[in-house]
Amino acid sequence: MKFFTSIYLFLAVATTTVASNLGLSPNQECPLIDHLIEINKEWLKYDQSSIDLMQITRFENDEERIQLHLQLVSQILTLKDNGHLSPQQIENRTKQIDVLTTYYKAGLFPKNTGHTHRQPYFVDDFGTACAVGYLVLKDGYEDFVQKIQSENNFAYIHEMDYPELGRWAIKNGFTKDELAWIQPAYQTQDRPFASVGNGDGVEGEIIIMKADANDEMLYMGGNFSAVDGVEANSIIGWDGSAWHTFGEGVVGTINAIDFYDGNLIIAGDFHLANDENAQNIAQWNGDEWIALQNGDMEGSVYDIAVFASTLYIGGDFKKINELPKRSFARYAFWNGEWRNDFSYYDSGSTINIPHAMEVNGKVTALEIVGTNILVGGDFNYTAPVVSNSNVHQVEANYLAYWGIYENNWIAGLAGDHPPVHSLAYLHGDILVGTQTVGEEKCVAILRGGIWVENNSGVEGFSTFGDNTIHGFAVMGDAVLIYGGFTYFPFVGFFGTGAAILSSDGYFVGYASFDSTVKTVANFQEKIFFAGDFTQVNGESMNNISQLTPITNTSEPQKEDIKIHQAGNHINVDYPPLTEDASIIFYNIVGQQMGSSILPSLDRRKTMPIAQWPTGAYVYRIQINNYFVSGKFFVKGK
């Protein structure tokens, strides 16, 4: 048996290279050694005649396979002759193997959420540590674990050049080779992307998707002639099981969709099929398209927003209904009037100042923030042709607020970023995307009054597709960023076309699209993606795909989290968790004060706060894609 196993291991070096690129499925029946090598190729270095490595084996899932790997390694390490170690080293080693046993029995391992191949994760996106990371963490070296996580999270043990790790190994009676043998690599997470309808894809391109308020219909606009085999001119609807068309559609491109009084509003660069003079803005009344604008606008509409009974539009147009109105204007549904003026009373008379809404460049994005319209684009000055002191002319670095009730400009936002292409207001943050992926500040975030630009996470965006950040979408308490980019954090490949911005400010890749994602929408508990891509994670998807997010089945509630101060420390008490969670602390201006991991096997975490001033703080706990947050106070210490 010993000789045969050694020969087999020699042959495995030659045979598993190709197989590992494809990945050995856990439920495939094959010799045990194949499964173990799939988890950790360090098995190729060891001759373990005490284990029947040739027995034909299969597993229900990869977690079960990792459990057996760690169980076998633990058993072998326990039986190994350690006569060269000191009594203290032997005691420490025995203790650590007991911790490892508890760890693998729990069956909660890191998730490979970004790589398209099997890869180690020292700590994953959800705060779950690997086996080696967990041993070091439980031994009290939390700062060191966080250091590896931030600097070299996806490295193999033999790639890690940390003297601290060597000292920890010696203290606990391990060699670096043994730690490398313990460390698993994790299977890429299969995201359940699927085609939409029959999977026939799009003849043309979808540029914008938006669901109605009742989540009954997902509207898709762009420049296409058919979707999923259904003929449609640039506009179509999906109710979750069937396609719906709207008259003859339009001729040209739809860039924006919104709703008023239950009716669909579209805008872009088009004309109605039966009227070439009806251009760029139209409303579907349930039976037919009604033009809201007639004549050549000498430009396009890029975005729209509805507030109360008013439609706001932004673009590079120069006329509306053949009258001069540039870049930004409003339409009153109650009387059908287009205006871009400012009105005020003087001596009992109403004074109208035309062109007050204009800016000195194009408007590409609009977002409602409270009772204001945040206007983004390629401009730096508002009301440029107005010389009336009642109209606010403000300097703006591509962003400015239009007050809806004031009917005037409020202020500019001085973020240090290039011209704005996309804009969102999500979870209290303002997010800006540009057309300059690969250059500095292609993503900028206004959080707590502070612009976050060009930090280590943002620098991970590299050129790909059309090199544009096309937009942002809600994903639980996180934000999905999509467009034409590749995201590379630290080391390894983390996907193309989509990335996640977690609530704690960290980025992580999300999926591998083979080209640009133009639009994303949440609809009927699924996420829909559309763009120029033909594949997602290697699967054929012709320009449109849907994803059913994986949700966590055990979520801590806010009332289950108790934080109380004990002198210069705080204790975080939490309920049983299905896996390790992460916790991050912020002060009231949004600065991160500290972070930690909440091990699932514990019930309390203690953290020092000696340097924290007296006052209010916020915490956020993340487990999988679920978040819970709350406030607490630090009193005099």
Asked whether 294 and 309 are in contact (CB, 8 A), the reply is: no
Count up the domains in the chain and report the number.
2
Domain for residue 509, yes or no?
A: no
Question: Which residue's structure tokens are 């003929």?
Answer: 231
**How far from 304 is each of 129, 208, 555, CA to CA, in Å?**
45, 12, 37
**CATH code of residue 623:** 2.60.40.3080
Q: Which residues of 498-511 are buried (b: 16+ CB within 10 A; e: fewer)?
A: bbbbbbbbbbbbbb
Read off the pLDDT of residues 119-142 as tens digits, 9 standing for 90 and up: 899 988 767 889 999 999 999 999
Q: What is the mean pLDDT of residues 430-436?
A: 93
Asked whether 372 and 363 are in contact (CB, 8 A), the reply is: no
Q: And the tokens for 235?
A: 């506009």
The count of C-alpha atoms lying within 13 angstroms of the C-alpha of 469, restricted to the half-sphere facing its C-beta, is 34
Read off the pLDDT of residues 290-309 as tens digits, 9 standing for 90 and up: 999 999 999 999 999 999 99
Query: CB-based contacts of 386: which residues, under 8 Å, 6+ apart?
Result: 342, 353, 355, 356, 358, 393
Domain for residue 298, yes or no?
A: no
**Best-predicted range by mean pLDDT (191-200, 350-359, 562-571, 587-596):** 350-359
> How many Å apart are CA 466 and CA 80, to the nearest integer?
56
> How many Å apart are CA 243 and CA 261, to the nearest integer?
22
Asked whether 468 and 452 are in contact (CB, 8 A), the reply is: no
> How many Å apart are CA 284 and CA 262, to the nearest integer?
10
* Amino acid identity, position 30: C
Among candidate residues 182, 214, 229, the one where a domain is terminated: 182
> How many Å apart are CA 355 and CA 300, to the nearest integer?
18
The mean pLDDT of the chain is 86
Domain for residue 283, yes or no?
A: no
Domain for residue 208, yes or no?
A: no
pLDDT of residue 554: 46
Domain for residue 285, yes or no?
A: no
Q: Rg (Cα) of the chain, in Å, rounded?
A: 29
Among candidate residues 162, 182, 202, the one where a domain is terminated: 182
Handedness of CA 325, 327, 330, 333 (dihedral sign): positive
pLDDT of residue 119: 87
Domain for residue 629, yes or no?
A: yes
Asked whether 404 and 392 are in contact (CB, 8 A), the reply is: no
Residue 507 binned pLDDT confidence (cut-offs 50, 70, 90): low
Closest CA to 593 of 603, 584, 604: 584
Read off the pLDDT of residues 560-584 as tens digits, 9 standing for 90 and up: 788 888 888 898 988 877 778 888 8
Query: CB-based contacts of 602: which residues, under 8 Å, 6+ apart?
Result: none
492 backbone dihedrals φ, ψ, rounded to 5°: 90, 170
pLDDT at residue 625 is higher than 60: no
Query: Which of 9-13, 341-345, 523-527, 631-635 comes out lowest in average pLDDT?
Result: 9-13
* Amino acid identity, position 160: M
pLDDT of residue 548: 77
Say which DSSP state 49 is in: T
pLDDT at residue 452 is higher than 70: yes
- Please tell me the total number of residues recorded for the chain in this structure: 637
* Amino acid identity, position 47: D
Among candidate residues 182, 210, 233, the one where a domain is terminated: 182
Domain for residue 219, yes or no?
A: no
Q: Print the domain residue range for 612.
A: 558-634
**How far from 433 is each of 143, 372, 402, CA to CA, in Å?**
33, 20, 20
Say if pTM beats, i.e. exceeds, 0.75.
Answer: no
Read off the pLDDT of residues 245-301 as tens digits, 9 standing for 90 and up: 999 999 999 999 999 999 999 999 999 999 999 999 999 999 999 999 999 999 999
Q: How many helices and strands, by DSSP H and E, does the chain display?
A: 8, 45
The count of C-alpha atoms lying within 13 angstroms of the C-alpha of 325, restricted to the half-sphere facing its C-beta, is 26
Q: And the tokens for 419?
A: 């011209």
pLDDT of residue 457: 40
Domain for residue 258, yes or no?
A: no
Q: How far is CA 62 from the centre of its chain?
A: 25
